[in-house]
Amino acid sequence: MKKFIPTIFLITALYCAGYTQTGNTGIGTSTPGSKLTVNGSLAANYRSETATTATIGANDFYVVWNGTANSTLTLPAAIIGNGNYKGRLYYIKNTTASFNMVLAASGSELIDGAPGISIPSGYGVNIVNTGATSGTTWEVVSFMNASIPQFHTSSVIAAGGSATLTGTTSTAEVLPGMSLTVNNPSGESLNYLINSSIAFDAGAATPTNGAVNMYVHMIPYIYVDGVATSFRTFIESEPTRVSGGTEASSNFIGNINGTVSLAPGSHTIEVRYIISSFSNLASYTINQAGSTITATTIY
């Protein structure tokens, strides 16, 4: 028995020595593959701050600022020797509706070469300590828009009724009812998906001579604030045999879509058309009830 007990201790000691030689520590796992492996959730301190001046401390990790005026949050001063902050991470977010927050380094220390950085409303920063005791003691890991995306949609459905197309090959006319006002309410440019579905009911066509096959060729474009984009399509009506005078023509449809960046403020989006050709036609009357144009923010 005396020989058996030391043997157990020897086996245990050898096992522990072999485990520690890996240099890794595991939480929730006996086979950590990294210096620290956590097999489960990880929690760190969360603090909400409203003061106009505050200091980020050793017990902070995620700091959310929601004050009522512009503010300054100051990072902790560097430590020389034991307790140096090298590698320490902070997540800091400005959740106010309109106020600005400055994240400042302590004293003469710097954040990426600057005394501080501005964090606008709705933005956040991830920052890491460099371990230096002077100069740039903190670096920005990421700077992001931390707001929940707000989707703004505007749309127009063209009313019924007749409209006569008499455009030319050089002048772009606005399709009746296909003009849309879009307001970007944010403080930054946003990407908008513009989509238009053009559906023309049968209209009346006026031939230039007697019994003919009639066509209309038109090219609708998306215009933003009076400037043509590259988004267009080509529409050609079905031929209609006309024996004289004015008779009904065929339906035709088309779709246009594309993405544009719109600065803050109000914008006018239109579908304009250029007549590629009127084959044996003097004019073409349409009823486009149900045609639509929409503008939706995308992220």
Residue 114 contacts residue 136 (beta carbons within 8 Å): no
What is the distance between the terminal CA atoms of the chain, rounded to a whole angstrom? 73
In a domain, 113, yes or no: yes
Residues 206, 246 within the same domain? yes
Angle at 155 between CA 150 and CA 161, to 5 degrees: 175
Please tell me the least confidently modeled range out of 4-13, 235-244, 282-291: 4-13
Residues 158, 294 within the same domain? yes
pLDDT attached to residue 220: 83
Residues 212, 268 within the same domain? yes
Mean pLDDT of 143-160: 74
Range(s) of the domain holding residue 94: 42-145
The pLDDT-based confidence of 232 (bands split at 50, 70, 90) is confident
Of 102, 125, 145, the residue that ends a domain is: 145
Residues 291, 157 within the same domain? yes
Q: Which two tokens stand for residue 184?
A: 């970007």
Mean pLDDT of 248-256: 65
pLDDT attached to residue 27: 92
Of 89, 118, 145, the residue that ends a domain is: 145
The CA R_g of the chain, rounded to the nearest whole Å, is 34
Residues 101, 221 within the same domain? no
Residues 56, 83 within the same domain? yes
Mean pLDDT of 236-255: 57
pLDDT attached to residue 150: 66
Identify the residue with better confidence: 261 or 198.
261
Handedness of CA 280, 283, 285, 286 (dihedral sign): positive
Residues 232, 266 within the same domain? yes
Residues 86, 52 within the same domain? yes
- For the chain, the domain total comes to 2
In a domain, 10, yes or no: no
Of 119, 145, 171, the residue that ends a domain is: 145
- The pLDDT tens digits for 163-203 are 666 666 667 888 777 888 888 877 678 888 888 887 765 45
The pLDDT-based confidence of 285 (bands split at 50, 70, 90) is low
Mean pLDDT of 120-138: 94
- The pLDDT tens digits for 42-83 are 899 999 999 999 999 999 999 999 999 999 999 999 999 998
In a domain, 17, yes or no: no
In a domain, 141, yes or no: yes
The pLDDT-based confidence of 88 (bands split at 50, 70, 90) is very high
Residues 189, 173 within the same domain? yes
Those residues with Cβ within 8 angstroms of residue 33's Cβ, 6 or more apart along the chain or in another chain: 24
Query: Residue 284 belongs to a domain with what CATH number?
Result: 2.60.120.760
pLDDT attached to residue 10: 46
pLDDT attached to residue 238: 56
Residues 188, 245 within the same domain? yes
Query: Residue 80 belongs to a domain with what CATH number?
Result: 2.60.120
In a domain, 191, yes or no: yes
In a domain, 219, yes or no: yes
- The pLDDT tens digits for 2-34 are 554 555 554 454 444 434 446 899 999 989 989
